A and B are shown apart, each in its own frame.
Chain A
C-alpha cells in the first residue's frame, strides 16, 4: 500500500515525460472519462464473479507446513492514537466492539464476549495488492455469528469496519473498509483474535482484524473498533467504501 503524491506526479509528468505516447498514457490516467472507461474492467470482473457464481466457494486452506515463519505486517504496525495506545497498554480489557447501523439489536461486545462465541481456525494465504503472499493460521469468530446476534435489517447491504489506526501523522483519516453481505456471511469471514495460535500481535491488527479470504490484503481491516451495517456506501468518507479506495483509487472489489 502506497501513499501517492499527486503534486509530485504532476511535476514528474511535466519534466520526465520523455516519450509522447507514455506522456499520453499518463494524461489518460488523469482523465476521468478514460479512467471511467478503464474501470468498466472492474465491473466486468465483478459481474464475472456473479456469473461464475459461487458465493460460497471456499478459499484454499493450507497445512501447518506452509506457514510463513513470520507474518509480514504492512501498512500500520502500531496505531498512532492516544486512545489505542491506552487500550493496548491495558491488554484491551477496556476495548469493546460496537455493532450498529441497520440492525435490530445494536451491540457492544468485549473481547471476552467475542471469544466466548463459536470460533473457526483456518490456515489461509494473505495476498497483498503489491504482489506478495504470506500464509498464516487465523483463529476468530465468524462474522455471521456476530451478525446473528445483531440481526441485520433486510435493507442492510454492506458491512463497514471502522478501525483505530489513523493513516495521517496528525491522527486523522482512520482506516476503514467495507464488504458486501455475500462476503460478510461467508463461512471463512472471521474476526480474528489469534495468529498462529498466539494472541494477535499489534503489528497484525490486535485486538481483532477482519479476514475476508477471497479478497486482497487491503480488505483485511486491522484494529477494528466498530462495525456498521449500511444500505449504501456513498455517505461514508468519500464514498468508495474504503480508505485505499478513496485515497488511491484501488478497486472496492478486491477479488482480482
Chain B
C-alpha cells in the first residue's frame, strides 16, 4: 500500500521493482525513516525481491540515509533477494568509497546496466 505522501516513485517491470527518490536531498531524519518504511513494505510483500534503487535525482545524502540502505540490503539478503543501486552522482559515490560501502552494495552506472546484472 503506497503512502499518500510517498517520497518514492515505484515501477515494476519484468519482475524488477525500480525505485526512484522524489527528494533531491535525502537528509531529514523523518524523511529517511519514511523512505525506509516504504521500501521495507515493498520488500516484505515479495518472495525473492529484486530491487533497483536509482539515485538519478539525488544531490545530497547523509550517513543516516546510508544506514537505511544497509538495513534495506540486509532485509533483501534475508529474503534471498537482490539489490542494485544505479545513477549515483560522482560526489555521492565518493561517500560510498570513503565508507567502503561500495564493497557491500552492487552499484552500476545506469539503470540498464543494473537491470542486466540481475540473475
Tell me whether A and B are bound partners: no
